[in-house]
Amino acid sequence: MPPEFIQALQDMSLPTALRESALVFPIILSMHLMGMGLFGGMILMTDLRLLGIAMTKRPVSDVVNGLRPWKHLGLTLTATCGILLLWSKVALYYPNPFLRIKLALFGLIIIHAVVFRGVYRNVSELDRSPVIPGRAKLAAALSMVLWISVVTSGRWIGYWEPSKPETPTAQVN
């Protein structure tokens, strides 16, 4: 995307107000992390149940369906705050390779959701099967790997600095 467009996006009034407020920016960031606590916890327990590791005394459907609305609430909170944080400093973050990795991982997560839609939609079928099918376990394992990668790449965004003209190699601290 042209840098002028990215800069114009950042210069809009909402992201500017967010960026310049000493209080609002860290509040949104805290809510981003709070959402992660909710979403991360719920998705991990969902996947661990599908893998047959956690909450094994309960039917799969009770765990997956019970956690689903809270998982969605957590994701909505995290995503909304994340978009606001990115928007407020988009010109700074745009060239960051870890942001691009994170966005690519979201692409993979959408593909995962489409490919394994059947697993999460028809969990009551899993209750009837004596062992959890390999496909459900694969979906859960991939989900955990993808989301942990999202957290990792997200954290690394803060440790990358654009290379300066006098120092051609990228500096990471």
Partner 1 sequence: MALFLAYDVANNPLNTNEWAFPVCEVLHILGFAIAIGTITMVDLRLLGIGMKKQSAADLVNDTRAWTLGGLALVLISGPLIFSSDPNLYLHNVSFRFKITMLVLAIIYNYTIHRWVALKKSPGALSAITGAISLALWISVVFGGIFIAFV
131 counts as binding partner 1 under rule CB under 8 A: no
Find the part of the chain contacting partner 1 (CB under 8 A) among 1-9, 118-126, 130-138, 147-155.
147-155
1 counts as binding partner 1 under rule CB under 8 A: no
Taking CB under 8 A as the criterion, the residue among 10, 40, 50, 123 binding partner 1 is: 40
Contact 83, 32 (CB under 8 A): no
62 counts as binding partner 1 under rule CB under 8 A: yes
- How many helices (H) and strands (E) would you count in the chain? 9, 2
Find the part of the chain contacting partner 1 (CB under 8 A) among 11-19, 35-43, 113-121, 127-135.
35-43
Mark residue 52 as left, alpha or beta (left: phi above 0; alpha: psi -120 to 50; beta: remaining). Answer: left
Question: Which residue, 115, 105, 172, 156, is CA-closest to 139?
Answer: 115
CB of 118 to partner 1, least distance (A): 22
Contact 126, 136 (CB under 8 A): yes
15 counts as binding partner 1 under rule CB under 8 A: no
Q: Which three-class secondary structure state does DSSP give residue 172?
A: strand
Contact 104, 96 (CB under 8 A): no
Q: Which amino acid is at 87?
A: W
What per-residue string of b and e applies to 84-115 under the rule 16 or more CB within 10 Å gives b? bbbbbebeebbebebbebbeebeeebeebeee
CB of 143 to partner 1, least distance (A): 14
CB of 16 to partner 1, least distance (A): 18
Structure tokens of 19? 């960026």
Q: Would you give the binding string for partner 1 spanning residues 72-111, x where CB under 8 A is met? A: ----------------------------------------
Find the part of the chain contacting partner 1 (CB under 8 A) among 4-12, 80-88, 127-135, 152-160.
152-160
Binding site for partner 1 (CB under 8 A): 22, 25-27, 29-30, 33-34, 36-42, 44-45, 48, 54-55, 57-58, 62, 66-67, 69-70, 148, 151-152, 155-156, 158-159, 172-173
